[in-house]
Amino acid sequence: MSATRVNDKSALTDGLVWVCLTYKDGSQFCFQTTLNVDILREKGVVLEEGKLARLDKKYYWGGQYIYRQFPFVGASVSLWTDLHYDHVESYKVHEFL
């Protein structure tokens, strides 16, 4: 994985970025997201409080494909230019989440 860490937090509101949530046990979950209201509206996402929408994958839920939202509370959040994992086991299950 050749992702570069994004240090400018405004990247999250400016456009699409990859976010890596790192939990206390060291496990990670990385997905593409944004807080940009225009992009979220275009994708039909109404963002829930305390959550980020995973925009690189749709999930089949309730008879339709949707972008799921995941809580970031309790996790360390880092921004990246592409998919990024330090935790090998988390990377191995990425496609199944």
Secondary-structure breakdown of the chain: helix, strand, coil percentages, each rounded to the nearest 5: 20, 30, 50
Question: What pLDDT, on a 0 to 100 scale, did the predictor assign at position 1?
Answer: 56
Read off the pLDDT of each residue in 34-45 and give the average, rounded to a whole number: 97
Using the 8-state DSSP alphabet, how is residue 90 labeled? H
**Residue by residue, what is the 3-state secondary structure of 17-58?**
EEEEEECCCCCEEEEEECCCHHHHHHCCCCCCCCEEECCCCC
pLDDT in tens, 45-86: 999 999 999 999 999 999 999 999 999 999 999 999 999 999
Kindly state the percentage of the chain with pLDDT values over 90.
93
1 vs 43, more confident: 43
Domain boundaries, the chain: 5-96
What does the pLDDT read at residue 97? 80
Within 13 Å of residue 65, how many CA atoms lie on the same side as its CB?
5
State the pTM of this model.
0.91
